[in-house]
Structure 1
Amino acid sequence: MTTINEFKEVLIEGLNLEDFTIDDIEDDAPLFGDDGIGLDSVDSIELVLIIEKEYGVKISNTEQYQDIFASVSSLLNYINENK
């Protein structure tokens, strides 16, 4: 099982979020938009590839994208449940 801090480190390194540290990212921070990490649509594609490579998890249920990608913790929960 991947911990939240391990996952935050993968996000920071994989998406080149040089301005962030693990402590800067709240567990329930939105992944997209100005209220959270601030990822955009290009980042979302890269994020899906990182998840597949790092965890072997494919996100194929497009109907649940909004819920899965709502926050750091919701995405990690999906990964841990589907590894």
Structure 2
Amino acid sequence: MEELKAELKNKIVEVLNLEDISVDEIQDHDPLFGDGLGLDSIDALELIVLMDKDYGIKLSDPKEGKTIFQSIETMAQYIGANRTK
């Protein structure tokens, strides 16, 4: 699980072009939106694409995304339980 969390942090910084944030600054339980990393709705769409492309997970319910994208920890748990790639 730790390897998946590190992978997610790297992909998020890379895919979302977070130039002001290093991977080391992202904590597993930090909120991804709002006061945490400060991601927005466009970033959420990018995360949905990333999950589909890299892990074979298709999200169809936006409410589901709200729960999954709370933190690196919640994303890793969901991917670990549902990945097809």
Do Structure 1 and Structure 2 share a fold, with TM-score over 0.5?
Answer: yes
Q: CA deviation at 1:42?
A: 0.9
Counterpart in the other structure of 1:70: 70
Tell me how far apart the structure 2 counterparts of residues 64 and 54 of structure 1 sit (CA, whole Å).
18
Tell me how far apart the structure 2 counterparts of residues 82 and 51 of structure 1 sit (CA, whole Å).
10
Q: Percent identity?
A: 44
Tell me how far apart the structure 2 counterparts of residues 48 and 24 of structure 1 sit (CA, whole Å).
22
Pairs within 5 Å for 1:48-63: 48-63=48-63
Matching of residue 25 in structure 1 with residue 53 in structure 2: no
Instruction: Give per-residue Cα distances to partners, 1:24-65, cap 9 Å, x unaligned.
Output: 1010111111x2111001111111011111111112344433
Which runs of structure 1 show a deviation greater than 4 angstroms over 4 or more consecutive aligned residues? Answer: none
What amino acid does structure 2 have at the position aligned with 1:37? L
Q: CA deviation at 1:71?
A: 1.1
8-17 or 64-73: bigger deviation = 64-73
Normalization by structure 2: what TM-score?
0.84
Q: Which runs of 5+ in 1 are unaligned?
A: none
Normalization by structure 1: what TM-score?
0.86
Counterpart in the other structure of 1:3: 4
C-alpha RMSD over aligned residues: 1.6
